[in-house]
Structure 1
Amino acid sequence: MHRTIQHTIHNIYGFAIWTILSVLLFTSCQSSDEQELESSHPQIVFLFSPGGLGDMSYNDCILEGVQRFKLDQPETDIYIYSPESLDEAEKIFSDWLVRPESNIPVLFVLATSDYEPIAERYLKEHSLTANKSILLFESRKRYSDPNIHTFQISMYGASYLAGATASLCCGDKKALALLANDSDSPIGIARDGFIAGFQGECDVEYLADDWTGYIQSSLTYQKMSDWSREYGYIFPVAGGSNAGIYRYSRENEDSPFLAGMDIDQSGLSNKITGSVIKEIDRLIFEYLMEWSTTGTMPEAQLYGLESGYSDWELSPLYEAEFKDIMEQIRQQAITKENEYYEGD
């Protein structure tokens, strides 16, 4: 059965997430068995990435956008799922997909590209009923069903600027692009942008073969002592795993310079020269408002550095040193990003 966040919460996301959620009339669902979408109001179902909520980064930023929408549109019911695994996420989605048609408009939001193969597999067997729509994050694929919508925030241009910043910090040391895995296309794009902007020797390392690479903060903390000896700059695109890197940098003076990810993370470490920003909270708010008012959303959109939904934000400690240089090469980063996608 459903329980409102005002009374209990099934998954502990940390005090910050509790603070955000406690002011909303969200329903938090622990498993697909708890799906009881019986309200007559329009409904939005959010399926976050496994273990994603509480990352103080991308997923929490999405949640802030959902919060803003809920405060603006209180009559829309919102159901939040934070699965512990891809298997659990698959069951939640498949159970929703086979629900019978009704007169209630329902939007199912798949908040990670890891869910795209799952969705495609089930949609081959079960078409969307007329009242259902899907929004898939971090995909540019265009589907024949007009009720399936996609978007991607490109990190290439912002990461290019991060790489250029890193080149000014490394001295005679190499850089490290650290990724959660080698299967998630959006973080691979960030890797490519960083390497292009760095224009020097840069190693690439992956923490796992799948989504678990996003929840390896203990591993990254342990490996930082070795990385600190070898690298002058670490560009981590690994979600919650980044926390171990930032923790080490606060505790040890030998830490290399670092990049923050998804939100301004300059407050987490003095070694963070800047952050690759994704304005995902603002974008998801706009998408939800569009769906709420018109019943539809844009299709297969790509938002890069030029759009304002992604950017490289220098940390206050390094702004005076690097701001003018970043402004000089900003248009170059936009051009490189546009060239990267030519022919797609």
Structure 2
Amino acid sequence: MKFIQVKRTYYLLLLLSLMQVRCSREFVEDIFLPDFEVFVVLPAEGLGDRSFVDAIYEGVESAKKDFDFSVSYLIPESLSEGEQWIEQIPILTGRMNQEALIIVAGSQFKEAIDQLDGNVGKHKILFLGGIALEDEHIASVVYKTYAASYIGAYLSAQLVPDCRARVVAGFDASFLKEYQAGFQQGVLDAGGSVDSPLFVSDDFSGFEMPDSAYQLTKTVLPDNNLILALSAGSNFGIINAARNYHEQRYVIGVDADQSWMGLKVVTGSIVKLFSQDIRDYIEDFSKGTFIPGSFYRSMEEGKAAFIMNEEVMAGKKVSTTLLNLAIEKEKAYWENKE
């Protein structure tokens, strides 16, 4: 009888101890839980492209310095896998089982977002790089690139007496047309010429094929002394080809400052300044003031730029006259486009 009583007492103490540990653990977890969750769907090129994907990553990570949130980066193996993930947004629960902000990066995901038809559960979507169907849960942001492309081309074309330019792009994508238009007009206005664009691939894989981009660029360098590299992660191959060529050749990069890839050949980079928009939307989401709609950012409002490589462009500057001209040409481009 005494043995049974001791045994009961032992198990009771053990149960109380386990309950205390569990309660303590839950208390500790509550202390360290972030205020909210952010999910980021990135293109299949993945981190390390030194271009669009890395620029988005930098914007999100910078925001973490000011706001307490957890972030999960979703990097699909392919476009179709990324679309399948987006289809699951309505049932996404996350670690905290509450409303989350989902950042979708890349115009290639437009169709998948539109197919949700507003059914996103309790979440909000920030779509960067494309315009989705209007919905109270979705904010779409597109960055105009004509003006920055024009300025980069106009200034870069003046580095050589006879500029013969060409675009080398990942593939023949509609969202690259604005870069090409601004670049072509800038070269022509500077007195140069532009040859037909070349493409690394016929789909998004062209953004992650630096070796193929290298070989393709080698074939045009005898005839072209200025290249606009529109190949995201493949730009490294384009720039290396220019670096290794026996005569001086120049390259314009995109999406991130790519001057470091070729300090003697990269004239500058056409960039979309994502960071402030990412930060603002994260802040608005944290305050419950998420603003849906479709928004177009431009160089005029400081959301796009041509970042010059001073190593190559010493003495060059963007005058007020050139800036205003580029902005007016961008407005005309969009008016004709619409």
TM-score, length basis structure 2:
0.81
Query: Hey, what does 1:209 align to over in structure 2?
Result: 202
> Paired residue for 1:190, among 179, 194, 212?
179
**1:166–1:175: 8 Å Cα contact kept in structure 2?**
no
Query: Hey, what does 2:303 align to over in structure 1?
Result: 309
1:264 equivalenced with 2:277 (yes/no):
no
Secondary structure at the aligned position of 2:227 is classed as strand
1:40–1:234 distance in 2 versus 1, CA, 3 Å: closer
Query: Hey, what does 2:76 align to over in structure 1?
Result: 83
1:265–1:285 distance in 2 versus 1, CA, 3 Å: same
1:172–1:55 distance in 2 versus 1, CA, 3 Å: same
Secondary structure at the aligned position of 1:229 is classed as coil
> Paired residue for 1:111, among 105, 111, 117?
105
1:229 equivalenced with 2:202 (yes/no):
no
> Paired residue for 2:156, among 158, 161, 166?
166
1:43 equivalenced with 2:44 (yes/no):
no
1:96 equivalenced with 2:89 (yes/no):
yes
> Paired residue for 2:130, among 110, 120, 139?
139
Shift of 1:103: 6.9
Shift of 1:41: 4.7
**In 2, Cα distance between equivalents of 1:261 and 1:142:** 27
Shift of 1:100: 7.3
**2:163–2:187: 8 Å Cα contact kept in structure 1?**
no
**In 2, Cα distance between equivalents of 1:194 and 1:147:** 35
Query: Hey, what does 2:14 align to over in structure 1?
Result: none
**1:179–1:206: 8 Å Cα contact kept in structure 2?**
yes
Query: Hey, what does 2:27 align to over in structure 1?
Result: none
Query: Hey, what does 1:57 align to over in structure 2?
Result: 51
Gaps of 5+ in 2: 1-32
Matched to 1:68, the amino acid is S
Query: Hey, what does 1:6 align to over in structure 2?
Result: none
Shift of 1:48: 0.4
**In 1, Cα distance between equivalents of 2:173 and 2:217:** 23
Query: Hey, what does 1:21 align to over in structure 2?
Result: none
Query: Hey, what does 1:177 align to over in structure 2?
Result: 167
1:63–1:170 distance in 2 versus 1, CA, 3 Å: same
**In 1, Cα distance between equivalents of 2:285 and 2:251:** 38
Gaps of 5+ in 1: 1-38
Shift of 1:55: 0.8
**In 1, Cα distance between equivalents of 2:141 and 2:92:** 25
**In 2, Cα distance between equivalents of 1:195 and 1:128:** 41
**In 1, Cα distance between equivalents of 2:307 and 2:72:** 32
**In 2, Cα distance between equivalents of 1:104 and 1:114:** 27
**1:42–1:77: 8 Å Cα contact kept in structure 2?**
yes
Shift of 1:233: 0.4
Matched to 1:127, the amino acid is N
